[in-house]
Structure 1
Amino acid sequence: MSGDWQWEYNPDHDHVTGGIPVHVVAEVERLAGQLIELAETGIDVSELGNGPRSGGLRRMDAAGGWFYFLVAPRDPLIIIVRIVPPFDAL
């Protein structure tokens, strides 16, 4: 791997994180950073978390809630599409 992996929110930060507690967003961003570190070592992060098949939408626990992400290895990019906070934060 070339070490140029990145992560981003899609469609944007405000849409994905709006109304989510700051500590949950911070944990999701920390985990996204760890996914990047793993990807840069050559680990196939499209198989991490939960999902029906590798390469598709993945679900990963974070701060009592969870988030959904996609992996685009050709870009190389991890795309966070939705954060679900813990029930008590709703």
Structure 2
Amino acid sequence: MSWRWEYDPSEEHVIGGAPPAFVAEVEKKADEVVRAAAAFYVDGIGYQGMSPAGECVDVPGGFFVCIVIPRHECVYIHQVNYL
């Protein structure tokens, strides 16, 4: 398994209707969060600690809320706000 990110519950629900340039910024930053999580949680699926708290990530034009689940090797994006 390799680290990834995804919209939860779906792309349409989380970011549907946002301008394409903003979506690109969110997805670019999500890639950065994934790289950081992969470096921090090297053991990934074997991780035994508690999952980290959700975090708010700023991007140009807004922000998104995500949570890292090391055992899934995934960053789930739950909410996106375009300002």
Match of 1:83 in 2: 80
Structure 1: gaps (5+ residues): 45-53
Match of 2:17 in 1: 19
How much has 1:15 moved relative to structure 2? 0.6
- d(CA) in 2 for partners of 1:36 and 1:67? 14
Matched, 1:62 2:45: no
Match of 1:71 in 2: 68
What is the letter of the counterpart of residue 71 of structure 2? R
SS of 1:80's equivalent in the other structure is: strand
- d(CA) in 2 for partners of 1:25 and 1:82? 12
The answer to which structure has the higher helix fraction is: 2
- d(CA) in 2 for partners of 1:58 and 1:37? 15
How much has 1:64 moved relative to structure 2? 2.3
Please tell me whether the aligned partners of residues 37 and 68 of structure 2 are also in contact (alpha carbons under 8 angstroms). Answer: no
Number of corresponding residues: 74
SS of 1:19's equivalent in the other structure is: coil
Structure 2: gaps (5+ residues): 42-50
Match of 1:5 in 2: 3
Normalising by structure 1, we get a TM-score of 0.74
Normalising by structure 2, we get a TM-score of 0.79
